[in-house]
Structure 1
Amino acid sequence: MNNFGIDLWSNNNFFIEDGLLKINHKNKPSLISLVKEIRKQNYKGPLLFRFPHLIEKQITRLYNTYNAAIKENNYHGKFNAVFPLKVNQFPTFVHPLIEAGEKFNYGLEAGSKAELIIAMTYNKKAPITVNGFKDKEMIHLGFIAKKMGHNITLIIEGLNELETIVEVSKETNLPCPSIGLRVRLFNGGSGAWAKSGGIDSKFGLSSTEILEAYDVLEKNNLFDCLTMIHFHIGSSMNNIKPLKNALKESGHIYAELKNLGATNLNSINIGGGLGVEYSQYKRTINYSLQEFASDVVFTLKNIARQKNVEEPNIFTESGRFISASSAVLIAPVLELFSAEYEAEHLRLKEVNPPLIVELNELYKDMKKRNALEYMHDSIDHLESLLKLFDLGYIDLKDRSNAEILTNLIIKKAISFLEVNAYEELKRIDNKIQEKYLLNFSIFQSLPDLWGINQEFPIMPITHLDKNPTRSASIWDITCDSDGEIEFNPNKPLYLHDVDLDKEEYFIGFFQVGAYQDVLGMKHNLFSHPTEVNVTFDENEVKLEQIIESQKIIDILDDIDYDTNEIKSILNSQLDDDIYEILEKYLNDNSYLKTTWS
């Protein structure tokens, strides 16, 4: 039975039982039970479920694994982590994150003024680091945060930022935040985001600039504020070797600065990089969290011993590792595009072309022993009949009958096949694909899939006790040809053949908790899906903090239309009873409404 690679990507967060996909926590509810519960409250369209317990699980794993490595290696530095807010700034994610991380003193990383305000407001005295390019206002905010009592480190990306820190320090007489230096390493990362590191990366100071920064700090009596060096060589690295090289390089930079006299320098921030498994076909991450943490601790300990300096505190970010698994997108299937190819739509004549007659006989006479042979024959016959149509030898009814009979033959053949015939199905997949139209927008909910061809695990949440036999392409409801997940024979997605007039069918998209929310775009003016936080109290499941998909009128307001003007113009041209109906539509979301939507 196809388990959709759940053993590769789910980290035991989900499991299949009685044909249903279930959450492996507390009373272990099925995802379909959550969908039905929220739809009872009249929330339709796509749904985004957030699972705060999975945020807590990842934070706990991160800290426990690093602390175990520190203990095992008799390492004298401490482990710290900060969550980079750029990965997911939404309050329905951030508030549970802060609550789950409080016992570990888990901090936040900000890369803009708005993110820094979030950190200053909600962070509970855990570390705050500030990355990215900064102007004077942003640096001043850092000084204000320090005045508020926050443990904040401004990590400079260029010497001009350091000069601005000096300027603000003199102008305000506020206490100076800790200062970090982002270093541009020679060694790069691996995977899709490898360009984040390396000598040509966007961020960081060269060796010459590091020494100049040292001089500026010393000259302006801010030397004691230098506490951290920082590097980042890429998100979700699939190979650990580049990390080891980067650790050696950054470790030696740290040690050299210590030996130059940077007495308060006590931390190395290794950025992100922890891999997240998105593939449901084969493992792409070649290391474990334990190996990652052990390599960090062991390498930095060795360098500190060689250079006779104290072992640095270790900071990490790894926001994707913390957040990716915490959200699941579920969208209902609206239509299967072979649904018109049913027997009741046949328009057979009294006298039919010979190939149509033969197709009809293949359909009636098919048995398990000849299923593959007849399926191949039907595909050949269809191709011949389409050529005859182009030449004008058969009419539109004949063409329709050919398409319907071929599809019926294929579906009947598949029903006879055992699971070991999947390779045969893959070989002819282009002929038997099914198009599944889902009530969602790829651009809004899976922007990385569209933008950088990022994989996400995809599977139905029901029918999992049945063999999925349809080679599936997924269409969203945007009027854009890019709004499709095409069938890939090298990474084949098989879904079930269902009768949507009789039953619902929902598709889940997993590992979508990192970046997808904030990067989602209002293409065709579809807004975010309805969002729900799923929490567990003893054995009771609670659906909380429900944020409904935006109303059409609110979306128009977001993109700066004068909504009062819109209402006024429409109202002036319509009778009151018709405008009342229109106003109801304006106050609903853009997703499609059908029986099962």
Structure 2
Amino acid sequence: MDKYTDLIHQTFDFPTDEFTVENNELFFNGIPLMDLIKQYGTPLKLTYLPKISSQIQKAKRLFNDGIQKLDYKGTYTYCYCTKASHFSFVMEEALKNDIHIETSSGYDMQIVKALYKKGKIDKNTYIICNGFKRQRYREWITEFINDGFVNCMPILDHIGEIDYYKEHVKVKTKVGMRLASDEEPKFQFYTSRLGVRYNDVIDLYEQQIKPDDRFELKMLHYFISTGIKDTSYYWSELSRFVHKYCELKKVCPELDTIDIGGGFPIKTSIQADYNYQYMTEEILRTIKRICQEEGVPEPNIFTEFGIFTVGESAANIYSILDEKLQNDKELWYMIDGSFITNLPDAWALNQRWPLLAINHWDKEYRKIQLGGMTCDSQDYYNSEMHSFQVFLPKVPKDNKPLYIGFFHTGAYQEQLSGYGGIKHCLIPSPQHILVDREEDGTLKSWQFAPEQTYESMLNILGYEI
């Protein structure tokens, strides 16, 4: 008999630092998942808070080691990209690690204000304000600046944005400028809608920023949607960006920082296949080489890691409700949740995550399709990153449920699905469980939010109950 445990051990170098198995039950970062299931039931979303801190420390270590190794003259600053997950427990865990914040909308500024009131940040914290800004966003940025948040830095997204700050800012202010990168060749359009055109950068500085003593241009910012990958496209765009930095630096002495955005990936399969050290050192080496060629000091470097910060901290856990053989060969396992509503990137972007059975590792495995609970034909999951198939243990005949977990689901899924709002077919948001460790390493868990209720949905929809 081919057991599920044999399949996993033959396919991957297993166990890993993250995944282990004891008594045919899966552990995630040392968490006995079956114990959580017995305590809370399914479906559930799990966030393991220490993973957030360990990811931040990993990136800091990579950049600081690279700076030392290459004798790079600039400094490194880690920002968290709030749009990956706005939850308070994510923000507060991340801020334990001496980091800074990148925002993308006006409401983000109210989160920043709440964090300041709780003493989680101070007025020296960098607040990198990105995005195309409505009036409200600009107003709140200006309030922060005038209130003494000395490192609240609007990143100009188009040439007219500076006009509002010139009219309303009353104190000395740092500003940045985002450059509009070219999209990868297979994209549907050529240049990003976000940022200032390369040809407009010098004029924007010399005509709008330089003449006003209140403003100093400190940062040049860019981001490409593919993330940080070892491709000719990535290195070409980075090089182009650094050359523009050098050109601007020669006419703007106060400019001393670049923000290379986010883009560090997370594991979408059990096995790691990304060389973080190589990529970090090559980024530093590329920037240093171009700056030396141009006779310009190396800039300080900011990053805005979002998915990397929070993605690997979370898991979605489901029960297999039943199985359905729909023809001679397509066997469906039906989960007590929905991919469209709980994991929308699986539907919208064909995103894959590490998928593992949580129990019954000693059972025979079979090829299956996973079906969600909505009535939509697209509510399914039937391929993994390393394979165009999904294999899971056979559902036992002794009424002992099979549980499965999707891992590294901590970024964007609640934001995209509309946490606490209306879901397709009124499938509720699952309960959310947080797991942390005491100082002695003992695990502790608690419920952040219960499963969404029908009352909350009907209230939103305007029904009287």
Per the alignment, residue 530 of structure 1 pairs with: 431
Structure 2 CA distance for partners of 1:9 and 1:322, relative to 1, 3 Å: farther
| Deviation of the 1:543 alpha carbon | 0.8
Q: Structure 2: how far apart are the matches of 1:8 and 1:313?
A: 38
Structure 2 CA distance for partners of 1:486 and 1:256, relative to 1, 3 Å: same
RMSD: 2.6
Identify the match of residue 270 of structure 1 among 260, 275, 279.
260
Q: Structure 2: how far apart are the matches of 1:10 and 1:176?
A: 55
Identify the match of residue 449 of structure 1 among 323, 336, 346.
346
Q: What 5-or-longer segments of structure 2 have no aligned partner?
A: 1-5
Identify the match of residue 457 of structure 2 among 520, 537, 555.
555
Q: Identity of aligned pairs, percent?
A: 25
Partner deviation per Cα, 1:192-234 (whole Å, 9 max, x = no partner): xx859x95111111123212211211222345x2100000012
| Deviation of the 1:133 alpha carbon | 0.7
Paired residue type of 1:445: N
Per the alignment, residue 306 of structure 1 pairs with: 293
| Deviation of the 1:136 alpha carbon | 3.5
Paired residue type of 2:282: D
Q: Indicate the SS of the match to 2:210.
A: helix
Paired residue type of 2:209: L
- Which stretch of the first structure deviates more once superposed, 138-147 or 289-298? 138-147
Per the alignment, residue 331 of structure 1 pairs with: 318
| Deviation of the 1:5 alpha carbon | 9.1
Structure 2 CA distance for partners of 1:183 and 1:77, relative to 1, 3 Å: same
1:210 corresponds to 2:205: no
Q: Indicate the SS of the match to 2:405.
A: strand
Superposition TM-score, scaled by structure 1 size: 0.70
Structure 2 CA distance for partners of 1:142 and 1:487, relative to 1, 3 Å: closer
Residues 368, 390 of structure 2: 8 Å contact kept: yes
Q: How many pairs were matched up?
A: 446
Q: Structure 2: how far apart are the matches of 1:151 and 1:464?
A: 52
Identify the match of residue 30 of structure 1 among 29, 32, 43.
32
- Which stretch of the first structure deviates more once superposed, 113-122 or 49-58? 113-122
Per the alignment, residue 247 of structure 2 pairs with: 256
| Deviation of the 1:157 alpha carbon | 0.7
Q: Indicate the SS of the match to 2:281.
A: helix
Identify the match of residue 113 of structure 2 among 110, 120, 127.
120
Q: What 5-or-longer segments of structure 1 have no aligned partner?
A: 40-44, 339-402, 404-429, 568-597
Residues 276, 321 of structure 1: 8 Å contact kept: yes
Per the alignment, residue 378 of structure 2 pairs with: 482
Superposition TM-score, scaled by structure 2 size: 0.89
Q: Structure 2: how far apart are the matches of 1:206 and 1:332?
A: 50
Q: Hey, which of these two has a bigger chunk of helix by percent?
A: 1
Q: Structure 1: how far apart are the matches of 2:144 and 2:83?
A: 19
Per the alignment, residue 201 of structure 1 pairs with: 192
Structure 2 CA distance for partners of 1:434 and 1:252, relative to 1, 3 Å: same
| Deviation of the 1:121 alpha carbon | 2.8
Per the alignment, residue 65 of structure 2 pairs with: 68
Residues 337, 435 of structure 1: 8 Å contact kept: yes
Mapping 1:483-502, distance limit 5 Å = 483-486=379-382, 490-499=387-396, 501-502=398-399
1:98 corresponds to 2:95: yes
Mapping 1:21-420, distance limit 5 Å = 21-24=26-29, 28-39=30-41, 45-99=42-96, 101=97, 105-122=98-115, 124-125=121-122, 126-146=125-145, 147-169=147-169, 173=170, 175-186=171-182, 188-189=183-184, 199-214=190-205, 215-223=207-215, 225-260=216-251, 262-279=252-269, 287-338=274-325
| Deviation of the 1:335 alpha carbon | 0.8
Structure 2 CA distance for partners of 1:487 and 1:297, relative to 1, 3 Å: closer
Q: Indicate the SS of the match to 1:2.
A: helix
Paired residue type of 2:442: E
Partner deviation per Cα, 1:379-416 (whole Å, 9 max, x = no partner): xxxxxxxxxxxxxxxxxxxxxxxx9xxxxxxxxxxxxx
Q: Structure 2: how far apart are the matches of 1:460 and 1:141?
A: 47
Q: Structure 2: how far apart are the matches of 1:246 and 1:8?
A: 35
Q: Hey, which of these two has a bigger chunk of strand by percent?
A: 2
Q: Indicate the SS of the match to 1:435.
A: strand
| Deviation of the 1:148 alpha carbon | 3.8
Q: Structure 1: how far apart are the matches of 2:15 and 2:157?
A: 36
Residues 363, 394 of structure 2: 8 Å contact kept: no
Structure 2 CA distance for partners of 1:268 and 1:558, relative to 1, 3 Å: same
Residues 47, 530 of structure 1: 8 Å contact kept: yes
Per the alignment, residue 3 of structure 2 pairs with: none
Residues 342, 414 of structure 2: 8 Å contact kept: yes
Residues 102, 128 of structure 2: 8 Å contact kept: yes
Partner deviation per Cα, 1:3-51 (whole Å, 9 max, x = no partner): 2899589973222333221133xxx332112211224xxxxx3100100
| Deviation of the 1:495 alpha carbon | 1.2
Q: Indicate the SS of the match to 1:492.
A: coil
Residues 331, 369 of structure 2: 8 Å contact kept: yes
Structure 2 CA distance for partners of 1:257 and 1:487, relative to 1, 3 Å: closer
| Deviation of the 1:115 alpha carbon | 1.0
Q: Indicate the SS of the match to 2:376.
A: coil
| Deviation of the 1:490 alpha carbon | 5.0
Structure 2 CA distance for partners of 1:7 and 1:131, relative to 1, 3 Å: farther
Q: Indicate the SS of the match to 1:556.
A: helix
Q: Indicate the SS of the match to 2:110.
A: helix
Residues 8, 14 of structure 2: 8 Å contact kept: no
Per the alignment, residue 471 of structure 1 pairs with: 367
Q: Which has the larger radius of gyration?
A: 1
Q: Structure 1: how far apart are the matches of 2:431 and 2:405?
A: 14
Per the alignment, residue 337 of structure 2 pairs with: 440
Per the alignment, residue 402 of structure 2 pairs with: 505
